[in-house]
Structure 1
Amino acid sequence: MTDRQDASHPLSTGTARLDHYMRDPEIMAEAERLLSGRTRDVRLKGRLAEAFRDRSWRQTAKIVRSWMVWVVVLDILTLTINMFLLPRSAALAMLAPGAVIAPAALAVALIWRKQRSDLILSSSLMIGMFIILLAVSLTGIAAGGEWHERYLNVMVFVAIAGITIFSVPQWQTLSIAVMALGLYLLFMLQNPRVEVLSTLSAFLFFASGVSATVVARRTMTILAHKAFLLELRDRRRLAELEEANGQLEELARIDPLTGVANRRWMTQMLDALWNTSEHRSASVAMLMCDIDEFKRLNDRRGHAEGDRCLVEVARIIASRVRRADYVARYGGEEFLVVLPEATERGALEVAERIRKNVEAAAIPNPGSRVAPVVTISIGVAVEPDDAERMTSEQLQSHADMALYFAKRAGRNRAELYKPKLLGLGKRAAPNVA
């Protein structure tokens, strides 16, 4: 496998990598296949194994580094104590081979500080462990006597500790076991104080213990792999659920026919807009748009043509406003446009642009008394700068009133709300759809 991404890469964190892999159909299909079988048959291969190593890298590296640092500390501490507790000749004989342990362990710890290729990491760990186990063995052999066998026993226990805590591929675990047992048998056969049969008996004893440790480590690895697969599947299902919820939220705020926002979402947006501090320092404009003679269009050309008209008008309105503006279908053929930070002149320009483009679309409306094509009337209301803050309901009421006067004035026009219209607006309005 190639070198991993560096820490600055977007996939450098475990969670980001997991999210990346769970979107891979091939990986998820293999994960589901493994989870559907028996736990003991779980074997991670290919990209799934790569995904597991990426996910567990930080924890594995931290354990390896910690173990190596403690080896360094214990090696230095042991050699120092030996100088005071052991005969001077034995203690001095142990110094040379014992001094090799700390640099080897420290080198492995330094290499495992950064995520590198599998070849570099695995090679450094295997070479480092071999040097450490060999150095521990030679430390006892150099001292001779009772320390010959004692340090070989220590070497086996060091290997068992590494096998137990290193979450590495099975071949590396087996390699450590073979190295330890091989060194033990080789050097014990050279021990003049122990007979061959006693050596073989001790070897079989330690071999059984190391083998049990390897099997236990394999079981731990399988369980870790299964936990990873379950986590991968759970995150995938959670992502699918979040995506489904997002789609439901989108459907809840979108008008299914026109594709613009619906009245419910617009109401929520207005509440949020009026409650933000930013709104306090900027005026807001509203455009209430209503398709002229829409009922006649439905009566003459049918509801299917009426629906197509609504879709096209919604598209035109949405395409003629700014990115920061809001458009919603507010009623049957009514659309509400909210323009944050808009002046009267700017709001009128937007309204006129919408009106002209709707008329230019030349959507046939043979029953219209305004024009042979679909037209639109627009009421415009803008918060006055020199007045008390208005509620969204008040501003919308002004836009409705301006729309009423646009209809009354002949339709196919944009009308700006003026306070002088208030008296007229209190009269009962006729049906001017």
Structure 2
Amino acid sequence: MLTLERTDHRTRSQRVYNEALKVAMSDRVMLPDHLLTSDSRIQDMPRGIRAVYDSYYWAAHSLKARAWLQAVIVFNIMLIGFDAFLDPSLILPSLVIRGAIVTAILLALWILWGRERGHAIQGASLIVVSATIVTEAGILGFAGGEPLFERYLNGGLFTVATAILFFPIAFVWTMAAVTLAMVLYVVMLAIGPVTEPLIAVFTGCFYCSAMVTFASTRKAALRSHWKSFKSKVRELRDQETLEQLNSELRLAASLDPLTGALNRRAAQEETTRICENGAEDVAFLMLDIDDFKSLNDRYGHATGDDCIRQVAQCIAENLRSCDLVSRYGGEEFCVVLNGATKDCAFAVAERIRESIERLRIGEPGRPIDRTVTVSIGLALRHGDEIPEKTIGRADEALYTAKRTGKNRTVIAPVPSDGTNPSPRPGEQHRRAVA
């Protein structure tokens, strides 16, 4: 049961840990970058930052407190047999105190540390541990008489000293637990059966000094954990910035700078991915602006660039989100229609062609005195045909459109090794639109 609950606690604390880091990393208003590099203290931070850090700190260190409590519970139960071995008269008080009362208290604290609690509850838990362990040692030692009293009492102080190292609580609560343990120790010495008081005092001073030292270590550890938290958040933010820059660079490397459409390399990669994923009814359109060289020579490169941009925009406006458009080179474009039959692809091609024919290129109020048209070659992918071969057939159909009058769409014939029959004579001509 303890093992299963411990596994659940690991999962829960890991989730809280990740959520706290995510909030701290993303909320730059709550935790500005300059606070991550300044020599700040968590006590000086706004309440929102402290709340996030407390969640992070509990998730990162609560397992230590629970592991200590679990170990002490097991060890305390084992000591029942040790008590009976040293003094058979201790069996009954040991069963009541160790086996019932102390085990119940420690188990309740173990359950309490399974969830994130407030500072006061976490701090009070160590005070309860301190009071329980020292009182238990004193009562059982008193019942065992002079030979066992000092040993049990010193063992109780030692146990509290180890708890200070494992309980991740604020320094003020740690010192409160240390002070309580020392006061209880002195009271027990004053009323208990002590064989050699001077030696008992010296031994108590040794353990008390150890606890103070451990408490000082806890204070330094708290500062170190806060710095570690800031360093972790800063590292995650740097990684996010780097990933964003890399993403922007990858995007810039995949786009044509003039039109914003995919460039040829990126289009080839996307087309290969679509075909490798088993997409059906993939159609390719190859488009070329008619007589673009004469337009460029007559009106200048600026007008030519504007023409290419507007044609690219017009193509994109007539496509779906699952389709692709790329600038294949110069004034030539390639369109990939995903999930399009022959009739559907032809309708899209014609819609693009007619939209481009309605464009008016030039400066506002001064359009050029000619119509911009495109010739289009259409090819459907058959079977496992590689994209390059389908594009090649679409390109051949484009040249046919150029040779037969331009401003038209021509469908490429089915390849001779395809599963569909070749087009009947005259079918290609009927699909050509003057």
Map 1:215-226 → 2, pairs under 5 A:
215-226=216-227
CA distance in 1, matches of 2:206, 2:10: 46
Map 1:96-245 → 2, pairs under 5 A:
96-98=96-98, 99-191=100-192, 193=194, 201-245=202-246
Greater shift in the superposed pair: 259-268 or 201-210: 201-210
1:8, CA displacement in angstroms? 10
1:184, CA displacement in angstroms? 1.1
1:18 alignment partner in structure 2: 21
CA distance in 2, matches of 1:32, 1:248: 28
Q: Check the 8 A contact 1:10/1:16 in 2, yes or no.
A: no
Q: Check the 8 A contact 1:43/1:222 in 2, yes or no.
A: no
Secondary structure at 1:329 match in 2? strand
Greater shift in the superposed pair: 148-157 or 186-195: 186-195
Q: Among 285, 303, 308, which residue is 1:310 paired with?
A: 308
Q: Check the 8 A contact 2:130/2:177 in 1, yes or no.
A: yes
Instruction: Report the AA paired with residue 18 of structure 1.
Output: L
Greater shift in the superposed pair: 19-28 or 196-205: 196-205
Deviations 1:294-350 (A, max 9, x none): 334434444333333333322222232222221111112221101233221111111
CA distance in 1, matches of 2:130, 2:391: 77
Secondary structure at 2:181 match in 1? helix
Q: Check the 8 A contact 1:379/1:401 in 2, yes or no.
A: yes
Instruction: Report the AA paired with residue 294 of structure 1.
Output: F
CA distance in 2, matches of 1:284, 1:213: 71
CA distance in 2, matches of 1:414, 1:11: 60
1:254 alignment partner in structure 2: 255
Q: Check the 8 A contact 2:58/2:168 in 1, yes or no.
A: no
1:399 alignment partner in structure 2: 394
Instruction: Report the AA paired with residue 398 of structure 1.
Output: R
2:323 alignment partner in structure 1: 325
1:206, CA displacement in angstroms? 3.1
2:377 alignment partner in structure 1: 379
2:385 alignment partner in structure 1: 390
Secondary structure at 1:147 match in 2? helix
Q: Taking structure 1 as the reference length, what is the TM-score of the superposition?
A: 0.81
CA distance in 2, matches of 1:122, 1:201: 29
1:426 alignment partner in structure 2: none
Residues 193 and 230 of structure 1: is their aligned pair in 2 closer, same or farther, counting only changes over 3 Å? same
Q: Check the 8 A contact 1:309/1:363 in 2, yes or no.
A: yes
Q: Among 36, 59, 64, which residue is 1:31 paired with?
A: 36
**How many residues are aligned here?**
403
1:57, CA displacement in angstroms? 3.0
1:195, CA displacement in angstroms? 8.0
CA distance in 2, matches of 1:21, 1:400: 54
Q: Check the 8 A contact 1:258/1:314 in 2, yes or no.
A: yes
Greater shift in the superposed pair: 395-404 or 291-300: 291-300
Deviations 1:116-136 (A, max 9, x none): 454544444543443344333
Secondary structure at 2:38 match in 1? helix
Residues 49 and 351 of structure 1: is their aligned pair in 2 closer, same or farther, counting only changes over 3 Å? same
Q: Check the 8 A contact 1:164/1:213 in 2, yes or no.
A: yes
Instruction: Report the AA paired with residue 107 of structure 2.
Output: L
CA distance in 1, matches of 2:120, 2:353: 69
Deviations 1:357-378 (A, max 9, x none): 223444359997xx83433322
Secondary structure at 1:304 match in 2? helix
1:399, CA displacement in angstroms? 1.3
Deviations 1:10-68 (A, max 9, x none): 9935335323322232254312213xx8xxx7878445544444334344222222211
1:168, CA displacement in angstroms? 2.6
1:410 alignment partner in structure 2: 405
Q: Check the 8 A contact 2:129/2:160 in 1, yes or no.
A: no
Q: Check the 8 A contact 2:133/2:160 in 1, yes or no.
A: no
RMSD after superposition:
3.4
CA distance in 2, matches of 1:193, 1:124: 30
CA distance in 1, matches of 2:190, 2:86: 28
Instruction: Report the AA paired with residue 238 of structure 1.
Output: Q
Residues 199 and 11 of structure 1: is their aligned pair in 2 closer, same or farther, counting only changes over 3 Å? closer
Instruction: Report the AA paired with residue 245 of structure 1.
Output: N
Secondary structure at 1:278 match in 2? coil
Secondary structure at 1:286 match in 2? strand
Q: Taking structure 2 as the reference length, what is the TM-score of the superposition?
A: 0.80
Residues 216 and 124 of structure 1: is their aligned pair in 2 closer, same or farther, counting only changes over 3 Å? closer
Q: Check the 8 A contact 2:130/2:181 in 1, yes or no.
A: no
CA distance in 2, matches of 1:11, 1:258: 46
Deviations 1:242-264 (A, max 9, x none): 22111111111111221111011
CA distance in 2, matches of 1:360, 1:129: 87
Q: Check the 8 A contact 1:328/1:337 in 2, yes or no.
A: yes
1:192, CA displacement in angstroms? 5.3
2:339 alignment partner in structure 1: 341
1:158, CA displacement in angstroms? 1.2
Greater shift in the superposed pair: 211-220 or 255-264: 211-220
2:351 alignment partner in structure 1: 353
Map 1:38-53 → 2, pairs under 5 A:
45-46=45-46, 47-53=48-54
Instruction: Report the AA paired with residue 373 of structure 2.
Output: T
CA distance in 2, matches of 1:188, 1:173: 23
1:68 alignment partner in structure 2: 69
1:112, CA displacement in angstroms? 1.8
Ranges of 4+ aligned residues in structure 1 off by more than 6 Å: 6-11, 41-44, 194-199, 365-368
